A and B are shown apart, each in its own frame.
Chain A
Amino acid sequence: MDRSLLIAATACFLVAVVRTLLALRAGVFRPGRFNFVAIACGFLLQTAFLWVRGNAIGRCPITNLFEVFIFLAWSIALIYMLVGPAYRLSLMGAFTAPLVFGIQALSLAAPIDVPHTTRVEANPWLEFHASMSMIAYGAFALACIAGLMYLIQERQLKTRQLHSVFHHLPPLHDLFTAITRLLWLGFLLFTAGLLSGFFTGQPLPVLKMTCAGIVWLLYGAILHGRHLRKLAPKRVAALCIVAFSAAVTILWGITFVSESRPL
């Protein structure tokens, strides 16, 4: 039952991806309500999946690699819903949908949805820690997407080759403002998630703490460089992509290693 909700959600994101690809192929690439509506439907179905799964296991559904990635995909869609329209970056949907679709399709295809044989007691601090960290990842993902949009537009401006997509991208200045705000949002949420880890009442695994510390330092360094005006906007945009790639790899590593111990 719950997986069929997820498959339907994935189909919604696929529809947005296909429509974007068709528009790109036709050379008429325009933002619009369609992508937003498709992502909104996907988001609702994702939420339904998490609710059903959470009820089934009696806690926040972040207990295995599959659930972690689905929660990450949900966080990305959540931040998009909150940030995309607010910053008038509806085109972000065209970039968000492929990422969410990719995460969900791979999660559904891979044999990683392994239920735990032992029932774990709910721990509010642990769940807060995990969910805050995941939502922070959603903000970092959106910063990564905005960074990609920035780099695409910057390159077109530099090379003076303005393709159809150029006319639908937000101005560089607005994109950079969005990147900065998303980085701050993600960093604050991640810090809250990190700090709450100390209150779980459980022993702190050295590997997880080190990896989380690396991600925190990485984003902290980007924000510090930005704050001191030592990093050019293009570098910040590129670093958002690098940092998110590293953060996802670390997340996968942490979750994979601790599969025997639910989060």
Chain B
Amino acid sequence: MHLFCVGLSHHTANVETRERYGTHSDADALRTAAGCAEALLLTTCNRVEVYGASEQPVSTDAIARSLLRETAIATATDSPTFYRYEADECVQHLFRVACGLDSMVLGETEILGQAKKAYETSRASGAAGPYLHRLFQRAFRVAKQVRSRTDITRGAVSVGSVAVDLAVKIFGDLTDRKVLLLGAGEASERTARALISRGVRDLRVSNRSLERAETLASAVAGEAVPFEHWPAQCRMIDILISSTSAEEPLLTADLLRPMIEERIDRPLFIIDIAVPRDVAPEVNKMEGVYLYDIDSLQSIAEQSLALRRQQIAAGEQIIAEHVSDFGSWLRRGSSTVRPAESLLHRPLTEAPLRTSES
């Protein structure tokens, strides 16, 4: 049995090309069109990949043409270079993809969920058979091992997620935390939405233009606060996200000190993403106050990325062990695996396939 992967990714093709080849969603139709015994289509914003198993070699061109819709074939003017991996290389590539080692953001975990979903879709349509089942189940297991045994997914690597991670590190559960957005800009809205996704429910928005504050407040299910009242909010809130266009710092140590003395047992986390900064740097010296500006958030994101890069070798080692093991099975497996076609058309209850190792 030939096991192969044909695809395009952010490493090899621009977004327009990926979009053109990424419209196909029916793995079973693709399997039939390309003439494979088994097929699985993994389409994300960064990659379009077909994993297949076939008795006879299937050309890259046949896969590429199967991926394009008929209208697109007619208008296609260029011919992008698809990469192709076979046997052990295919196995290694999938394991690297599942572990986030091939992702644009190194170590991201979303790809694993996307791979599981792609596998489930192909399995449900009957396009994935025993070979791809075994391959993907092993890939999920490898990803789990790499995640648990290395720090490849550790730390946030974007400014918004760093801010959220820090908030969780300070407060633990964010459900009952009060957040004030000072300035109704796009950056603070993004950070606020990231906090909402982690459970924050109490949001207040203050802006020089009350109208904009109200617009953003309604968008994030929060409450608008008149700009002249924002300093008093510092007595109550836990997290302040500031992104105004003020030329001078709005929040100074002198302004904050009396309020902090009233809330000595409650920390205050300040995310200052404004340039120039809205919060005087001396504020960070106050007890219980944690001030992060845009540079420090970016620096942490870079530290996390550096930490993840250090973990690549450890991840690759785990992958190599599994590739070797899977390769051995693959070489002797043809005789032990039931024919794909006989499995494909059986009801699921007769051929139970787990969707996840976890």
Binding site for B on A (CB under 8 A): 27-28, 30, 153, 157-158, 160, 162, 164, 166-167, 169-174, 226, 229-234
Contact = CB atoms under 8 A, between A and B. Distances in A.
Contact of A232 (B155, B170, B265): B265
A175 to B, nearest CB: 9
Interface in B333-350: none
A172 B151 contact: no
Interface of B: 150-151, 154-155, 166, 168-173, 264-265, 267, 284, 287-288, 290, 292, 296, 299-300, 303, 307, 310-311, 314
A162 B300 contact: yes
Nearest to B310: A27
B271 to A, nearest CB: 12
B267 to A, nearest CB: 7
Given A158-B290, A162-B300, A171 B284 contact: no
Contacts of A234: 287-288
A234 B288 CA distance: 8
A67 B287 CA distance: 42
Given A158-B284, A231-B264, A233-B267, 19 more contacts: A27-B310, A28-B150, A28-B311, A153-B169, A160-B296, A160-B300, A162-B303, A164-B151, A166-B169, A171-B168, A171-B169, A172-B267, A173-B170, A229-B264, A229-B265, A230-B264, A233-B265, A234-B287, A234-B288
Given A153-B169, A172-B267, A233 B288 contact: yes
A27 B308 CA distance: 11
Which residue, of A30, A158, A162, A231, has the highest number of chain B Cβ atoms within 10 A? A162
A167 B296 contact: no
Contact of A28 (B151, B170, B171, B287): B151
A173 B284 contact: no
20 contacts: A28-B150, A28-B311, A30-B151, A158-B284, A160-B296, A160-B299, A160-B300, A164-B154, A169-B169, A170-B172, A171-B170, A172-B172, A173-B171, A173-B172, A174-B172, A231-B264, A232-B265, A233-B288, A234-B287, A234-B288
A84 to B, nearest CB: 17
Contacts of A28: 150-151, 311, 314
Contacts of B299: 160
